[in-house]
């Protein structure tokens, strides 16, 4: 019972956001009309805010840290999750600790936990509000994507301009996060936040790159990485590392979101005392679809690496928007069926007829003629 009673209606003032997400991931169809993406999945519930939905970076980070603490305390007796679904985020206007988020979720990467995170719903206001709540531009690109949805994924898409080693100080430019935006039933954009994202220090004036307009003058010296750069004002001259380029700058913002998933969905766990079943919208509703899909992929092939999970879910997505991965739709809307087929193919046990061998390598060829090489000629999974 969600409120520890026999009444299916939530108590007044209770926050039910996480319960909605749980229904999307693992609802078992008990209501007779709807089921979750992965109905046999086992869920671990960790509270990251209070009963009315109040939370901050500290409480969200503490919820994730709890997993690490339990593993350290109980060792093999504690069953680690394979996937985290987090439909919470911290917006730019709150000046979140970006670098701390990225460092924390690198632990997820080291432990093999895929982290699915909403990117926010600020896509219609990329230049509105204020960095301190008073000025203009609360959600400026490249910080329209909320953190930690702006943290890199475990696999960099083919369209991503790679980072330069001489710019960043940490040990990797990849991480555990799949940043999720939302689309409607007809794959129409759901106003989720827009990329690209950037990982560079802000110190002084940030410019709107198209017009050159100064959009704010906040101090935010906490990115520390410098591997994904967007603003010319703060790009280092790279001649000392890689030779002179025409402008003396290297721009490679991080393409975000990673993928899109449905929103506006109905689950039995989303119940209104006025209308009964109700709809759950935004990138918060989209994120558990991705987490459930990752669960299905791991059920089909438990040996998938994080890089393979990220690659499969992006390369099997339905193309939306501009060709390739773009900063509105990412790699496209997820396709759970194709993702599971490719996960099976990675395990060399696909049962579909279009998983074939060609020139000594195993391929899966979709109806749209996209070809995915799964094995090299030596049989090594790629």
Q: Which helix (H) or strand (E) holds 309?
A: helix 306-315
Residue 49 CB contacts under 8 Å (≥ 6 apart), including other chains: 15, 55, 59, 60, 88
| Residue 256 main-chain phi, psi, to 5 deg | -145, 150
Mean pLDDT by 10 residues, the chain (382 residues): 47 62 81 78 81 73 92 93 92 83 93 96 70 55 92 94 62 88 92 90 51 51 68 46 48 92 66 54 91 96 95 96 94 96 81 45 48 45 42
Cβ–Cβ under 8 Å, residues 225 and 99: yes
> Taking the CB of residue 17, how many other CB atoms lie within 10 A of it?
15
The confidence score (pLDDT) of residue 140 equals: 78
The confidence score (pLDDT) of residue 164 equals: 65
Residue 282 CB contacts under 8 Å (≥ 6 apart), including other chains: 118, 121, 182, 190, 192, 263
Euclidean distance between CA atoms 142 and 228, whole angstroms: 11
Cβ–Cβ under 8 Å, residues 259 and 336: no
The confidence score (pLDDT) of residue 18 equals: 74
For helices 57-74 and 98-111, what crossing angle results, to 10°?
30
Euclidean distance between CA atoms 219 and 205, whole angstroms: 8
274 HSE (CA, 13 A, CB side):
2
Give the CA diameter of the chain.
Answer: 70
The confidence score (pLDDT) of residue 226 equals: 73
Angle at 262 between CA 257 and CA 44, to 5 degrees: 85
Which two tokens mark 354? 């279009």
The confidence score (pLDDT) of residue 240 equals: 40
The confidence score (pLDDT) of residue 228 equals: 85
The confidence score (pLDDT) of residue 8 equals: 47
Q: So where are the chain's domains?
A: 17-191+255-347, 353-382
Q: Which CATH class is domain 17-191+255-347?
A: alpha beta
pTM to 2 decimal places: 0.80
């Amino acid at each position: 019972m969600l409120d520890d009673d026999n009444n299916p209606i939530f108590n007044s003032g209770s926050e039910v956001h996480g319960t909605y997400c749980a229904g999307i991931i693992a609802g078992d169809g008990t209501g007779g009309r709807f089921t979750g993406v992965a109905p046999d999945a086992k869920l671990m519930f960790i509270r990251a805010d209070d009963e009315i939905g109040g939370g901050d970076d500290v409480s969200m980070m503490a919820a994730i840290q709890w997993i690490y603490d339990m593993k350290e305390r109980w060792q093999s007796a504690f069953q680690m999750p394979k996937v985290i679904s987090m439909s919470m985020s911290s917006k730019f206007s709150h000046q979140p600790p970006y670098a701390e988020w990225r460092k924390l979720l690198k632990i997820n990467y080291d432990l093999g936990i895929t982290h699915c995170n909403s990117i926010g719903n600020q896509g219609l206001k990329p230049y509105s509000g204020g960095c301190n709540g008073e000025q203009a531009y609360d959600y400026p690109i490249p910080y329209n994507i909320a953190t930690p949805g702006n943290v890199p994924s475990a696999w960099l898409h083919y369209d991503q301009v790679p980072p330069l080693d001489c710019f960043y100080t940490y040990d990797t430019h990849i991480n555990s996060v799949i940043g999720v935006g939302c689309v409607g039933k007809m794959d129409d954009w759901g106003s989720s936040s827009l990329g690209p994202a950037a990982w560079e220090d802000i110190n002084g004036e940030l410019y709107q790159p198209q017009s050159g307009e100064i959009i704010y003058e906040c101090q935010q010296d906490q990115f520390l990485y410098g591997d994904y750069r967007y603003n010319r004002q703060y790009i280092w001259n790279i001649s000392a590392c890689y030779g002179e380029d025409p402008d003396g700058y290297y721009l490679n913002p991080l393409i975000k979101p990673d993928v899109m998933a449905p929103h506006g969905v109905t689950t039995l766990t989303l119940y209104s005392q006025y209308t009964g079943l109700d709809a759950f919208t935004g990138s918060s509703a989209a994120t558990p679809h991705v987490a459930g899909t990752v669960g299905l992929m791991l059920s089909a092939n438990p040996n998938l690496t994080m890089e393979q999970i990220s690659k499969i879910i992006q390369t099997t997505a339905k193309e939306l928007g501009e060709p390739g991965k773009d900063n509105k739709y990412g790699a496209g809307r997820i396709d759970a069926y194709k993702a599971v087929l490719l996960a099976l193919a990675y395990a060399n046990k696909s049962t579909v007829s279009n998983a074939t061998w060609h020139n000594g390598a195993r391929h899966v060829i979709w109806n749209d003629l996209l070809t995915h090489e799964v094995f090299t000629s030596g049989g090594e999974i790629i």
